[in-house]
Structures are given as structure tokens and as C-alpha cells.
Amino acid sequence: MSLFISEAVASAGGQAQGNPYSLIIMLVVFGLIFYFMILRPQQKRAKEHKKLMNSIAKGDEVLTTAGLIGRVTKVSETGYIVVALNDTNEVTIKGDFVAAVLPKGTIKSI
């Protein structure tokens, strides 16, 4: 008599075999869930951000991911932009850190 395995389980002779295709079907379902819940929305966001980056021009008012709001004074070919925070301060940032292009006149209304 064993302390860990009951006699009924030990004498059963093994587990019953299920459908061999059930594992494949389950993996495909999990793959589809992963694609539609994670990959597809991420690709959509990246595509929209790239479109935003290509539309930035001199004079646009932008919001950065750090929370700075300013007017674009220069756009370089290397992906950097110069943002004027006020009349005396300018900041050079990587274009990837622009969160949104704001409507004209947003800075004056704040």
C-alpha cells in the first residue's frame, strides 16, 4: 500500500488518450488570440505614429511624451526636431518622442 498513490489510480494502467489534433487546435486558437489582442493593435499604433511623424512641419504645435508643449521651429532629416517652448527656450528632441500634434492656437489658450 502506497502513501502517495491510491490503488485505484495505480491500477488504472495510464491515462486515456484524447484527440491528437486537440493540442494543435488549441495552439492555433491561442496564436489567433495573441495576434488579435497584442500584435495587431501594436502594429496599428506604430503605423499611426509613423504617419504622425511624417506630417510634422515647421510651425506645428506639438505635445511631447515628457509633457512639454511647444512650436516646431526646425525639422531635420536625421529625425530630430527643434521645439520652441517660449521666446527664449528651444529644445532639440528625437522625433519619436512627439505624442501628438495639437490644433493651432493651443499654446496661446493655455
Q: Which SS3 state, helix, strand or coil, does residue 47 take?
A: helix
Ordered by start, the domain boundaries in the chain are 19-55, 57-109
Spell out the per-residue pLDDT of the chain, length 110, in tens.
Answer: 556 665 555 555 555 567 778 889 999 999 999 999 999 999 999 999 899 888 899 999 999 999 999 999 999 989 899 999 998 999 999 989 999 999 998 888 88
Q: Is the CATH number 2.30.30 carried by domain 57-109? A: yes
- The reported pTM is 0.66
pLDDT of residue 110: 82
Integer-rounded Cα Rg, in Å, for the chain is: 29
Which residues have CB under 8 Å from 84's CB, separation 6+?
A: 70, 71, 72, 73, 90
